Structure formats: structure tokens, C-alpha cells
């Protein structure tokens, strides 16, 4: 594992976090008792490239973490998957709380007549952050890291079985 690889990975994650901020910046916030905007969804201009970037980041994360786990002697230890599973569960909880919070802010979602976004599509100027936020990025990185760990552990155990 080279320092350059770590730097590339860090920069890639920072770019993804910048995209999270941009999606949030272009997502309208509904003020309680306010009215909805009919000016379209400017957030989709950032959301689409951000989601594509996330796919690329997750592919890169798989190979980066695989190389990292191969280069670390004790990467097959049981603490790594336990920690990653704890991260995954935490991010799932935070995503659920985020969805609930947005539902409360909007008074429901698109199928609730009392909602500020009643009859809007699921992807609208108030819900962009449901599809791309910090929790989703970190959940994706954690899931892919777990898959990388499983891949390395499986290949390591096969090599040990062949040599025994």
C-alpha cells in the first residue's frame, strides 16, 4: 500500500463530501407553514453527477480496501468485520432518522394529502438529500469495505487450506 493510493482515496472521499454539501445547498428547505416552490429542481443538476461519482467511488473503494487488507498482516482478524457491521448499523439508523425528520418537516411524503410535497414525484426540490447524503456515502463505503474484507479473508483461508 503506497501513500499515493491513500492520498487518492482521501481526495476521492473529500470530493464526495463536497458533492454532499452541494446537493444539500441546492435542496430547498421547507419552512413550517410556508408554501412550496414551483421553480423546478435545481438540485438534480448536482444529484445526478454525485450519484455517478458515488458509484465510481465505491468501485475504487473496493479495490483500495482489498489492497489495504492484503497489505495488513492481521486484516483477517475478527475485529474488522465487527467494526464495519457496527458502522453499517449506525448509518442505517441515521438514514432512518433522517427520513423520519424530513417526513415531519414536510408533513408527510408524496402520497399524503397533508404533505407539502403531495403529488410531487419522489425526486423533487425538497427530497434530494434523501438520495445522496453523508450517511449514504459512509454506508456505501462501509458496505464495500466489508465485502472487500470478506473477499480477502476468503482468499486467505483458501491459501492456508492449500498450504496445509
For the segment 9-24, the average pLDDT, to the nearest whole number, is 96
pLDDT at 148: 95
Residue with more model confidence, 86 or 35: 86
Euclidean distance between CA atoms 30 and 27, whole angstroms: 10
Helix (H) or strand (E) holding 121: none
- 9 pLDDT exceeds 60? yes
Mean pLDDT of the chain: 88
Euclidean distance between CA atoms 3 and 19, whole angstroms: 24
For the segment 21-46, the average pLDDT, to the nearest whole number, is 81
Residue with more model confidence, 2 or 19: 19
Residue with more model confidence, 163 or 109: 109
Q: What is the pTM of this model?
A: 0.88
Euclidean distance between CA atoms 81 and 74, whole angstroms: 12
pLDDT at 109: 83
Categorize the per-residue pLDDT at 141 as very low, low, confident or very high, splitting at 50, 70 and 90.
Answer: very high
pLDDT at 136: 97
How much is the CA Rg of the chain, to the nearest whole Å? 20
pLDDT at 30: 78
Euclidean distance between CA atoms 88 and 83, whole angstroms: 9
pLDDT at 161: 66
pLDDT in tens, 46-91: 999 999 999 999 999 999 999 999 888 765 578 899 999 999 999 9
Euclidean distance between CA atoms 17 and 23, whole angstroms: 10
For the segment 134-146, the average pLDDT, to the nearest whole number, is 98
Amino acid at each position: 500500500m503506497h501513500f499515493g493510493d491513500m492520498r487518492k482515496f482521501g481526495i476521492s472521499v473529500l470530493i464526495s463530501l463536497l458533492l454532499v454539501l452541494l446537493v444539500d445547498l441546492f435542496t430547498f428547505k421547507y419552512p413550517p407553514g410556508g408554501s412550496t416552490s414551483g421553480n423546478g429542481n435545481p438540485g438534480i443538476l448536482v444529484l445526478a453527477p454525485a450519484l455517478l461519482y458515488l458509484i465510481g467511488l465505491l468501485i475504487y473503494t473496493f479495490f483500495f480496501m482489498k489492497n489495504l487488507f492484503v497489505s495488513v498482516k492481521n486484516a483477517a482478524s475478527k475485529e474488522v468485520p465487527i467494526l464495519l457491521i457496527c458502522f453499517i448499523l449506525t448509518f442505517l439508523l441515521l438514514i432512518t432518522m433522517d427520513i423520519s425528520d424530513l417526513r415531519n418537516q414536510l408533513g408527510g411524503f408524496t402520497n399524503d394529502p397533508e404533505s407539502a410535497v403531495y403529488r410531487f414525484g419522489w425526486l423533487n426540490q425538497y427530497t434530494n438529500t434523501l438520495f445522496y447524503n453523508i450517511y449514504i456515502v459512509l454506508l456505501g463505503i462501509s458496505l464495500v469495505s466489508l465485502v472487500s474484507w470478506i473477499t480477502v479473508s476468503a482468499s486467505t483461508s483458501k491459501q492456508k487450506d492449500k498450504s496445509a
